[in-house]
Structure 1
Amino acid sequence: MAPQNDEQSPRRIAIPPRAGVGLKPEHYRTILDTNPDIGFFEVHAENYMGAGGLPHRYLSRIRDNFPLSLHGVGLSIGADRSLDRDHLKRLSELIERYQPGLFSEHLAWSTHDTAYFDDLLPVPYTAETLSRVVSHIDEVQETLGRQMLLENPSTYLAFAESTYSEIDFIAEIVRRTGCGLLLDVNNVHVAATNQQWDPIRYIDEYPLPHVQEIHLAGYTREADEKGRTLLIDTHDRPVDEIVWGLYGHTITRLGPQPTLIEWDAKIPTWTELKAEAERAEAIMFAIGRKEQSRARFG
């Protein structure tokens, strides 16, 4: 895919502190026909790395009317191997073409030798892993010529060899690379439940000044072999009430932030998806008004 020249490329538009949704082909026509009041759309980069076709035709038209955020799932930032230079080149061309307000990736790995996995796999929090992740993020940011946001993972078990806490590991990545952060509140709840730690404390101790986007999603509740609750990050249903509560706490600490509703499987109707975004925005603005009133009257 050849990048467009400067006259063809749109200018970069900042993502507003509002709620957005993931852009799905099922909703293309509705979005173009109704021009909904929505904060922004986010797309998975790997879905648009082809040279052209119908997806690009729709995305270009939607990008003309709405801010766009780009979310990668295939860079494999945590892999014990070099980054895929072809993949990074295609990503760079896609960013040049659409000039998204934000670009984010995961603290995870999904490649090994010539194998590519469907899952985003966690990394041990060790000095060796830290050095590798920092090197990869430096390479990404240098190649793209812009800051990347790093998303906290959804995890199910802790690595025995880890020598950093997750928060300290992420904070050190930010310190060394200057990357920003995407705080996935659903991932916090999933990991906290699976590993039995306090999600409120996690959010309070997180490097919040570096957070530039928030994700919310649904999860599936299962049980492990001992009958204990196990949450799976499935993105296939509405946001859970507990996650809404954690989101409210996060906004109280952070203030309004671009907030995405992730719904990637069992895609709902546009009305249902938009209602989730409207709920996030209502929480965001209600807390914002409350904090302004508190500051004004003490």
Structure 2
Amino acid sequence: MFDALQSHLPARPGVGYKAQHFKDILENPGTVAWLEIHAENYMGDGGRPLAQLRHLSERFAFSVHGVGLSIGGQGPLDEDHLTRLKHLCNWLKPASFSEHLAWSSHDDMFLNDLLPLPYTAATVARVADHIDRVQEVLGRRMLLENPSSYLAFQGTDRSEVDFLRDVAKRTGCGLLLDVNNVYVSATNLNFDAVAYLADFPVELVGEVHLGGHFVDADDHGAPLLIDSHGAQVVDSVWQLYTGLIGRAGPLPTLIEWDNDVPDWPVLAAEAARAARIMEPAA
């Protein structure tokens, strides 16, 4: 059973690990207590990247975040991909593993995007079956992340929060709550982000993500937000996060910055802001 190997990240800030920050993290981590990697970047054998991870893992907890399993895909999961993922988790021994609520493959074709799903009973069953398989192979609990959305399906028969709750109840998985994704989706689909978070089952949250987004406009001039992971967290997202922490207490919180990655002091300052918000709740 995966419960036997379940572990937890510290309820403090973390950052997405980038190799250019290796020395800075070791010498001046500031409030950063854990690191996250994208699994697919570290599935090779040997080399400097894995050596750096081994060294960092002696001092920091790690979260492994997958982007390629296609949890919502129609077909079966890629067993070769799962085997490589298991090998990575077995030696790194991360405190957390997570994946997106999305699909990115069809037959033998892989699409370089995280695509949306209709929220229906059939989709719950398919996603739950895939999560069961992941947890069986890895021998550990998985966290499922809420997506950033740009369209909605007419066939949807339940809210996103209810869908996530249904999947977690069926599989025993936890949830990764990306607050920026909530804000992006709420703006694009015109719903209340505060109400979404008030309904979210925070007792299932094992990790929180904060990141930046790109502001655009659709063909009618309405705001269109793109989840870019390439900018600072905006004040509106910080406000949502403050409300979340006030309700749930301190949670492991990742500053997610994958594009146009800044120098270490900028990233460390974002982590320090999250730490200041968590401190009164502690």
- Mapped partners of 1:120, 1:111: distance in 2: 9
Larger Rg: 1
- TM-score norm. by structure 1 comes to 0.91
Give the counterpart of 2:225 among 220, 231, 241. Answer: 231
Please tell me whether the aligned partners of residues 8 and 206 of structure 2 are also in contact (alpha carbons under 8 angstroms): no
Q: Structure 1, unaligned stretches of length 5 or more?
A: 1-10, 289-298
The Cα shift of 1:201 comes to 0.5
Which residue matches 2:85?
91
The Cα shift of 1:12 comes to 8.6
The Cα shift of 1:116 comes to 1.2
Which residue matches 1:188?
182
Give the counterpart of 1:149 among 119, 143, 146. Answer: 143
Which residue matches 2:125?
131
Q: Alignment RMSD, CA only?
A: 1.3
- Mapped partners of 2:6, 2:36: distance in 1: 14
Please tell me whether the aligned partners of residues 31 and 271 of structure 2 are also in contact (alpha carbons under 8 angstroms): no
Q: Structure 2, unaligned stretches of length 5 or more?
A: none
Give the counterpart of 2:166 among 164, 172, 184. Answer: 172
Q: SS in structure 1 opposite 2:187?
A: helix
Q: 2:225 matched to 1:222? A: no
- TM-score norm. by structure 2 comes to 0.96
**What is the 5 A alignment of 1:51-90?**
51-90=45-84
Q: SS in structure 2 opposite 1:168?
A: helix
Which residue matches 1:113?
107
Q: 2:254 matched to 1:269? A: no
Q: Amino acid of the residue matched to residue 130 of structure 2?
A: H
The Cα shift of 1:165 comes to 1.2
The Cα shift of 1:13 comes to 6.7
Please tell me whether the aligned partners of residues 218 and 237 of structure 1 are also in contact (alpha carbons under 8 angstroms): yes
Please tell me whether the aligned partners of residues 218 and 236 of structure 1 are also in contact (alpha carbons under 8 angstroms): yes
Query: Taking CA–CA contacts closer than 8 Å with sequence separation of 6 or more, which of the two structures ends up with the larger relative contact order?
Result: 2
Q: 2:236 matched to 1:249? A: no
Give CA deviations for 1:215-234 in whole Å, capped at 9, x if unaligned: 00000000000000000000
> Identity of paired residues, percent?
52
Alignment size in residue pairs: 278
Residues 1:280 and 1:35: Cα distance change in structure 2 (over 3 Å): closer
Q: SS in structure 2 opposite 1:135?
A: helix
The Cα shift of 1:36 comes to 4.7
Q: 2:154 matched to 1:160? A: yes
- Mapped partners of 2:32, 2:221: distance in 1: 41
Deviant stretches of 4+, over 6 Å: none
